[in-house]
Amino acid sequence: MNITAIHERTLPLASSMRNAVIDFSTMTVSVVAVVTDVIRDGRPVTGYGFNSNGRYAQGGIIRERFAPRLLGAAPGALADADGANLDPFKCLAVMMTNEKPGGHGERSVAAGTLDMAFWDIVAKIEDKPLWRLLADRYNGGAADPLVNTYAAGGYYHPGKGLEALQDELRGYLDLGFTSCKIKVGGAPMDEDLRRIEAAIDVLGDGSRLAVDANGGFDLATAIKFQQAIQPYGLKWYEEPVEPLDFEAHAELAASAVTPLATGENLFSCVDTRNFARHAGFDPQRDFLQVDPVLSYGLAEYLGIIEMLRGYGWSTRRLIPHGGHLFGMHIAAGLQLYGMESYPHVFDPYGKYARGMTLGDGKVDLPSLPGIGYEDVPGVDELMRALAG
Ligand SMILES: [Mg+2]
C-alpha cells in the first residue's frame, strides 16, 4: 500500500479569548487529508488530521518537507511487514529524513498533524475504531469504555465578569461535565482568586476545578499563587511557569500540596525524559499533559509512555492536551487518566462525533472505523472537501 496524495489547508481559528500569555485573534489550524491506494467501498482509504490547538498551522513544513518525503518514498516503503497497512513508525522515520536531532521547533506539530491521519488510515484498513486498535495492539486488549473528561474553558474575554464565568461553568455542568478548568495568571492575583471562588461556588468543591496559568508566572509569583490556592484543594495547578524551566518546576514540586500538571509544551520523548529526570514532579501526585499531536504524533507518544514507565509514571497520570477526538481514542485504548474537552472553545475541531454521549464527567466513543471525523458536525464536510 502507498500514500498517493497529501492535502493540507490552513484555516482560521480566530477568537477574542485569551489566556495568561496569548490571545487567539490570529490563530490558525492545519487540516490534512492523506489519501492511499487501498480501496474500500469503491473509494480510496483516506485519513484525516489537524494540528490540535495552541500552535499555529503547519502548512509550510508539511508542504515543503514532509509531504514530498512521504510521496517520494519507494513503493511499499511506508507499509507494515505484510504490506497491507500503513506503518506510522516508518512514516515518522521518513518524515524525519535529513532533520537534525534537537531543536524541535514546531516541526513536531507538523509531524503530529500527519500522524493523526496515518492512524485514522490504519484503523480504517483494520476496520476498527482507533481505540479498539490501540487496545489490541498496545494494551493487551484492555480499553476503557468511558473516558474521564473535563471542560477546559474559563478563558478571559473582554468584559467577561464573574457572573459570565459562572454561567459558562453552569453550561458545562448542564452538558454532563462534573469538573472544569479555568485560566489564571491573566488578571491580578486577587481577581483570579475571586474567579476561583466563583467557580467553586458553581462546581460545589475545589477538587472539581483545575487552574491553568499557561506558563505565565515567574517563579516567585508562581510560588505565591501556589500558596494562595492551597486552601481550595484544587484538582491541579497547570503550567505555573515557563514549560522548559525544569529547575523552577522542581522548586514548586518540592513543597506542592495541590497536584501540579504540565506537558503540553513538551514536544518530544527526549524533552519529556529530561522533564521526568529534572523537574521533580511526583508520579503519585502530579499529571503530565503531553499532546500526541504537538509532539511528533502517536508514534512518538507510545515511546513517551514506555519511557515514563521507567520513571515511575503510570498511564493513569497522563491526560493529553488538545481536546481532540484523536486523544479520546488514545485515552480509552491505552487506559490513560482521561482527556480534556473544549466545549464551544475550539469549534468545530473540539466537538464530539454524532452519537457520543457525555454524562457524569465521562464520555463514550464512536464505533466508526478510524477516528470518526466523518461524523463530527462541521469537521465532516470540511475534511471531505479537502480530500477532493
Ligand atoms: Mg493548558
pLDDT at position 275, please? 98
Is the separation of the CB atoms in 143 and 335 below 8 Å?
yes
pLDDT at position 16, please? 80
pLDDT at position 276, please? 98
Tell me which residue of 95, 12, 52, 11 sits closest to 267, measured CA to CA: 52
What are the start-end ranges of the E strands in 195-235?
Answer: 209-212
Tell me which residue of 379, 386, 385, 371 sits closest to 117, measured CA to CA: 371
297 vs 320: CA distance, rounded Å? 12
Same domain, 152 and 238: yes
What single DSSP character describes residue 62? I
Q: Is 187 helix (H, G, I), strand (E, B) or coil?
A: coil
Is the separation of the CB atoms in 348 and 378 below 8 Å?
yes
pTM across the whole model:
0.97
Same domain, 63 and 206: no
Tell me which residue of 311, 269, 275, 313 sits closest to 292, measured CA to CA: 269
Domain ends where: 86, 101, 127? Answer: 127
Same domain, 95 and 117: yes
For residue 79, the number of C-alpha atoms closer than 13 Å in the C-beta half-sphere is: 16
Same domain, 156 and 118: no
Structural domain includes residue 388: no
378 vs 260: CA distance, rounded Å? 35
pLDDT at position 343, please? 87
Q: What CATH number has the domain bearing residue 155?
A: 3.20.20.120
Same domain, 209 and 314: yes
Domain ends where: 97, 127, 157? Answer: 127
Cα–Cα–Cα angle for 50, 331, 22, nearest 5°?
50
Same domain, 275 and 302: yes
* Burial class of residue 173 in the structure, from the number of CB atoms within 10 Å of its CB (0-12 exposed, 13-18 middle, 19+ buried): middle
Grid coordinates belonging to 17: 479569548
Is the separation of the CB atoms in 383 and 31 below 8 Å?
yes
302 vs 292: CA distance, rounded Å? 9
Ligand 1 mean position, distance from CA 1 (Å):
38
Tell me which residue of 262, 254, 163, 255 sits closest to 210, measured CA to CA: 262
Q: What CATH number has the domain bearing residue 108?
A: 3.30.390.10
- The alpha carbon of 342 is separated from its chain's Cα centroid by a whole number of angstroms, namely 11
What are the start-end ranges of the E strands in 184-229?
Answer: 209-212
Structural domain includes residue 20: yes
Ligand 1 mean position, distance from CA 238 (Å):
6
Catalogue the long-range contacts made by 216-224 (C-beta closer than 8 Å, 24 or more residues apart).
Answer: 216/19, 216/20, 216/21, 216/185, 216/186, 217/20, 217/185, 217/241, 219/245, 219/248, 219/251, 219/252, 221/189, 222/248, 222/252, 223/251, 223/252, 224/189
Same domain, 209 and 331: yes
Is the separation of the CB atoms in 12 and 99 below 8 Å?
no
pLDDT, averaged per 10 consecutive residues of the chain (388 residues), comes to 96 85 89 97 96 94 98 97 97 98 95 98 98 98 98 94 98 98 97 98 98 98 98 98 98 97 98 98 98 98 98 98 96 98 86 95 95 93 85
Ligand 1 mean position, distance from CA 19 (Å):
9
Same domain, 173 and 99: no
217 vs 361: CA distance, rounded Å? 30
Same domain, 337 and 221: yes
Same domain, 51 and 120: yes
Tell me which residue of 58, 41, 39 sits closest to 50, measured CA to CA: 58
Range of the domain at 334: 137-376
Same domain, 113 and 81: yes
Ligand 1 mean position, distance from CA 9 (Å):
25
pLDDT at position 268, please? 98
Ligand 1 mean position, distance from CA 81 (Å):
38
Residues assigned a catalytic role: 183, 321
184 vs 236: CA distance, rounded Å? 12
Same domain, 116 and 151: no
If one counts the domains in the chain, the total is: 2
